[in-house]
Amino acid sequence: MTPLAQRQPGHLTLALPKGRIMEEGAALLSAAGLPLTLPRGSRALRHEFPGVTVLELRNQDVPVYVDLGVADAGIVGKDVLIESGRAVYEPVDLGFARCRLSLIREVGARGPVTRVGTKYPHAAREYLLARGLPAEVVKLSGNIELAALTGLADAVIDLVQTGGTLRANHLEELDVLFESSARLIVNRAALKLRRERLRPLIAALRELTSQVAEERA
Ligand SMILES: Nc1ncnc2c1ncn2[C@@H]1O[C@H](COP(=O)(O)OP(=O)(O)OP(=O)(O)O)[C@@H](O)[C@H]1O
Ligand SMILES: O=P(O)(O)OC[C@H]1O[C@H](OP(=O)(O)OP(=O)(O)O)[C@H](O)[C@@H]1O
């Protein structure tokens, strides 16, 4: 991929994560006026449309591609953005993929928290440090709640939305670290170099998401 400054200023490169954000994210970008129709079942990782390229990435890689300027903008969960520590511009809360990052234990668990399993080690360490809890943090990759059920850890820090996973596994939420939703993120240099493409996109997404917020209220 050509570096930011060498790509045509009128062309946008967007980073979208495969998984639960992809479909709604692409639909919002289309509603905001970008000509995207992502193919279903394709193994292609890069999709070309008039004036727009979409890169299909893992969630954690979206802030990296945007911060390093390979993508001009992207969509990612606030949880992943916080964990990445990347100082990208975050102009729009898109209002979907709402969930919260929480401290979770087995119902009725007693004793000190000495080891915590999580996919979010930076956020977890910061949280534990702020509370003076000297627990070890173990980085895991999925089905995080199993760590609390099996004794791998005596608590986990993971996402909660409906609470269905907690109820199905006899777990309880003890504290909320932060709330999350999908965000538009933008490379700061691209905001200047591709101002005439990015400013209208940001404005359209703000307009669309404020409509969504009004409909919800
Ligand atoms: N149960 C949920 N309800 C609503 N939003 C969620 C839920 N779980 C995760 N999210 C949000 O959606 C984002 C993407 O979730 P998704 O399930 O696609 O990721 P994943 O497949 O677990 O990630 P990875 O790429 O690490 O495998 C998360 O970063 C979070 O912001
Ligand atoms: O409160 P709930 O509505 O049950 O949602 C919370 C669950 O959703 C996410 O998992 P996901 O289904 O994405 O699987 P994962 O563990 O592979 O990320 C998250 O990690 C929780 O396990």
**Residue by residue, what is the 3-state secondary structure of the chain?**
CCCHHHCCCCCEEEEEECCCCHHHHHHHHHHCCCCCCCCCCCCCCEEEECCEEEEEECHHHHHHHHHCCCCCEEEEEHHHHHHHCCCCEEEEECCCCCEEEEEEEECCCCCCCCEEEECCHHHHHHHHHHCCCCCEEEECCCCCHHHHHHCCCCEEEEEECCCHHHHHCCEEEEEEEEEECEEEEECHHHHHHCHHHHHHHHHHHHHHHHHHHHHHC
Percent of all residues in the chain with a pLDDT value above 90, rounded to a whole number: 87
pLDDT exceeds cutoff 80 at 1: no
Q: Which residue among 165, 169, 180 has the greatest number of ligand 2 atoms within 8 angstroms of its CB, and so is best to mutate?
A: 165
Q: Which residue among 23, 64, 143, 159 has the greatest number of ligand 1 atoms within 8 angstroms of its CB, and so is best to mutate?
A: 159
Domains of the chain and CATH, by start = 12-98+180-215 (3.40.190.10), 99-178 (3.40.190.10)
**Cβ of residue 97 lying under 6 Å from some atom of ligand 1:** yes
Would the pTM of this model clear 0.90, i.e. be above it? yes
pLDDT at 42: 86
pLDDT at 32: 97
pLDDT at 213: 72
Mean pLDDT of 107-136: 96
pLDDT exceeds cutoff 80 at 8: no
**Cβ of residue 211 lying under 6 Å from some atom of ligand 2:** no
